[in-house]
């Protein structure tokens, strides 16, 4: 089961971040449409943060705040 966590917006695309039993799933969307097979699964908040920040023009403050909220919950 996946639980929606957040949308992370980049220039020209977005990622839907969801929590799973084993970690997190990031699904890529462009123009409001899901990009099939553009899914990244990670096991920890640290990996999630590294992945989200690795994308060019990442919204760094938003990502750091999101990760802090996840660590606190």
Cα–Cα distances in Å, from 50 out to 1, 3, 32? 23, 20, 24
Q: Give the structural domain span for 33.
A: 3-72
**pLDDT confidence of residue 73:** 79
CB 29 within 8 A of CB 36: no
Backbone angles phi, psi at 55, to 5 degrees: -80, 135
User: Residues 31, 9, 11, CA angle at the centre, nearest 5°?
Assistant: 70
pLDDT by residue, tens only, the chain of 73 residues: 899 999 999 999 999 999 999 999 999 999 999 999 999 999 999 999 999 999 999 999 999 999 999 998 7
Write down the pTM of the prediction. 0.92
Domain count, the chain: 1
Cα–Cα distances in Å, from 71 out to 12, 20, 33, 43, 64? 28, 15, 29, 13, 11
């Amino acid at each position: 089961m996946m639980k929606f966590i957040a949308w992370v917006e980049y220039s020209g695309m977005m990622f839907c971040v969801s929590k799973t039993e084993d970690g997190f799933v990031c699904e890529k969307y462009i123009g409001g449409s899901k990009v099939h097979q553009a899914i990244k699964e990670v096991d920890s908040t640290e990996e999630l943060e590294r992945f989200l920040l690795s994308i060019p023009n990442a919204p760094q403050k938003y990502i750091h705040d999101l990760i802090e909220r996840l660590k606190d919950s």
